[in-house]
Chain A
Amino acid sequence: MKRFVGFVRKEFYHIFRDRRSLFILFGMPIAQILLFGFAITNEINNVDIAILDQANDVTSKEIINKIASSKHFSIVDIIQQESSIESIFKKGKVKAVLQFENNFGRHLIKEKQATVQILTDATDPNMANTISNYITSILKNYQHELNNAVSIDYQIVPQSRMVYNAELKSVYMFVPGVMTVILMLVSAMMTSISITREKEQGTMEILLVSPLKPFQVIIGKVFPYIFLSVINAVVIVLLSIFIFNVPVKGSLFLLGFESILFIITSLALGILISTISATQQTAMMISLMGLMLPTILLSGFIFPISSMPLPLQVISNIIPAKWFIIIVKGIMLKGVDIVFLLKETLILFAMTLLFMGISVKKYKIRLE
């Protein structure tokens, strides 16, 4: 037991003496949370648009004023001809052009109908769609005001309630994701590098020949990273709570327990990676190239899984991050307790056992 403690202590020394890596290990999550909280969002604010007002009458000017005063848009150009549209799109100067038809105001009064064309640069389809939607609703509001004098037919008025996130803050969605991605990447990558480094340097064999049992070696290697990752998780949660007011509606204890479970799952994955990598370089590249993108893209972190094609939805089930994100969102934002999360928790357990099992088997084969 004393030998084991000594071994663990050596691992701690390794880590804490590498100042540069340590800085990254702790700095990275903090930088990411701050970025996500303050800078990364899908909301549109002050998007540059241009106006092509072929009517130039009172009505069109009123509408343009409304749009100018919206915080979503910033009118940066007034163009005179249709032919100018292509060139400002190509230059990337504006994301949309509003085109009012000739005699817009007159049409509206006489024929009770007039059109506005919303031309958007749809290379970014999401933004184009959002811009169209916002402008359409500004137009509808104006239309509504016009029609106030007129008695309207029957109306079902929807009262929308945004559950769990009344202000639609994007940081609510991102915090669980960032936490998951950081824990997964750091744990898996660090572990796989640490083990393959010993392999490369030849010291692994020394360890195996020592009185320490193989599983003690592995646990000893992995233990400091559990510790580090827990600190990371705590930092992320604290930052989210205190700087961004992300709630933790559920039990902190449960959050802690599930986080540790997920960390162990990631570590097990790291061990698995180390069994198939001969060199540090390979381990690093597999962790980075093979783990990072799928984790970010398929876990529901940024893109909703239900919108993906079916095969990808199926694949996303084997990504541990997906399940943990559900758990974190559930605990922090919905306030559910373990009963609701039984399925996800068990899946993580099962994955951990699976990874460990495969690793042990590969290990035994190698030793023979």
Chain B
Amino acid sequence: MKIILYIIRKEFKQIFRNKGMLPIIFILPVLQLVILSNAATYEIKNITFGYVDADNSSTSRGLIERFEASTYFNVSEKFSSEKEASTAMQEGSVDVYVNIPTHFERDLQKNKRNEIGVFIDAIDGSAAGVINVYATQIIQNYNKHIATDLIQVSDSVQQPSSIDSIPLFWYNETLNYKTFMVPGILVLLVTMITLFLSGMNIVREKEIGTLEQINVTPIKKHQFIIGKLFPFWVLGMGLLTIGLILAKVIFNVPILGNLLLLYGYTSVYILVILGMGLFISNFTDTQQQAMFIAWFFIVIFILMSGLFTPIESMPKWAQLLTEFNPIKYFVEIIRMVMLKGSGFADIFPLAIKTLAYAIVMNGLAVWSYKKTT
């Protein structure tokens, strides 16, 4: 036991003496959490809107005014032809344009319906979908308006029925994306720091030769491993704390659930990550290799974690794969506990899987660490 303390002491000294790394471990993650959380949003704002109006009637102008009044759209310019509009879209200066043909108002009054072309830059498919919804809503609202304004409604006309849908957004009434992203990014940062530091650390001792020296001492495997990994466990928990404070103070992310539960889960989660770091370091000879392999897995894990895109949207086989992705569990649990106030019983299935992962991963890692080759 005392031996473990000697190793822990040495590790902490080395970490805090490394002047170059300290800002990277502490300041960089904090900066990124604060700055980048503001970047992550799927809200579509500031849509640049252009139009071709070959009709110039009160109807067409009225429609354009609707777009001007909307907070979603920034009406940029009126194009003199469709060609001009389409070139502008190629240049990237409009996201969407509307093409109102000649005799628009006249044909509308004659046929009681008319079409207009809505051209949306659809490279970002999901943004295009949203733009479409917004534009369609504006047009449909305008439909109601001209119906009541321009036409006499005779009593004999039957009233249409309407089904009103009332959306109610639980846990996040304002649809604040930061509330959603900040905990996720925090998970990311804690994971990256603990994985890279723990993985590279052991390999570095290999590279400089001190690992050999350690292996010649009678120190037991588990003493060495615990001593080596413990400081990074502490670092991870520390980062979590800093992150939670920032989340609350700067972003006002709610913390509805039990913090103790969160810390308890995180302590197990970090063990999984440390186990991975150790496992990787057992099979690599240079820091660069360790780094690369860790990076490879991290990127894939991040993509498949539900952090940026929902797991529910993935095909079944991909969802199955995510069962082996530790980050997925943490992302889900931190969101559940912080934003919904989920309790121990609610997160139990996920937590139990994480625990199993921790045991298997660390078991593998310890087993594959050989003092004698």
Contacts and interface: CB of A to CB of B under 8 A. Distances in A.
B201 to A, nearest CB: 9
Contact of B133 (A31, A125, A126, A133): A133
A1 interface: no
A330 B296 CA distance: 29
Given A118-B168, A151-B158, A284-B287, A161 B303 contact: no
Interface string B172-204: 110111011000000010001100100010001
Interface stretch (A235-243, A295-303, A356-364): A295-303
Interface residues of B, number: 118
B339 interface: yes
Contacts of A116: 163-166
Contacts of A113: 161-164
A170 B125 contact: yes
Interface string B134-149: 0110010011101100
B313 A42 contact: yes
Q: Which among A91, A118, A151 has the highest number of chain B CB atoms within 10 Å? A: A91
B172 A122 contact: yes
B160 to A, nearest CB: 4
Interface string A1-45: 000000000000000001011001101100110011011111111
B122 A288 contact: no
B163 A307 contact: no
Interface string B38-51: 11111111111000
B127 interface: yes
A157 B116 CA distance: 6
A39 to B, nearest CB: 4
Q: Which among A89, A121, A163 has the highest number of chain B CB atoms within 10 Å? A: A163
Given A90-B336, A139-B165, A42 B123 contact: no
Contact of A281 (B287, B309, B310): B287
A348 B256 CA distance: 46
B300 A156 contact: no
Interface stretch (A216-224, A226-234, A272-280): A272-280
Contacts of B342: 90-92
Interface residues of A, number: 116
B235 interface: no
B126 A308 contact: no
A293 B38 CA distance: 13
Nearest to B167: A132
B339 A123 contact: yes
Contact of A154 (B113, B120, B161): B113
A119 B20 contact: no
B328 interface: no
A330 B286 CA distance: 40
Q: Which among B24, B142, B179 has the highest number of chain A CB atoms within 10 Å? A: B24
Contacts, number: 353
Nearest to B91: A340
Contacts of B125: 42-43, 162, 165, 167-170, 172-173
A114 B63 contact: no
B350 to A, nearest CB: 8
A330 B175 contact: no
Interface stretch (A142-150, A206-214, A251-259, A263-271): A142-150
Given A41-B314, A155-B113, A284-B200, A336 B90 contact: yes
A306 interface: yes
Given A152-B160, A329-B123, 10 more contacts: A113-B161, A115-B165, A119-B168, A122-B172, A151-B157, A163-B119, A284-B288, A288-B291, A290-B24, A293-B188
Interface of A: 18, 20-21, 24-25, 27-28, 31-32, 35-36, 38-48, 89-92, 95, 108-109, 112-129, 132-133, 135-136, 139-140, 142-143, 146-147, 149-170, 172-173, 193, 197, 277-282, 284-286, 288-290, 293-294, 297-298, 302-304, 306-309, 312, 315-316, 326, 329-330, 333-334, 336, 340
Interface of B: 20-21, 24, 28-29, 32, 35-36, 38-48, 63, 86, 89-92, 95, 108-109, 112-129, 132-133, 135-136, 139, 142-144, 146-147, 150-151, 153, 157-173, 175-177, 179-180, 188, 192-193, 196, 200, 204, 284, 286-289, 291-293, 295-296, 299-300, 303-304, 308-310, 312-315, 318, 332, 335-336, 339-343, 346
11 contacts: A24-B292, A95-B312, A123-B172, A168-B122, A193-B288, A280-B287, A288-B192, A289-B32, A306-B47, A306-B48, A306-B95
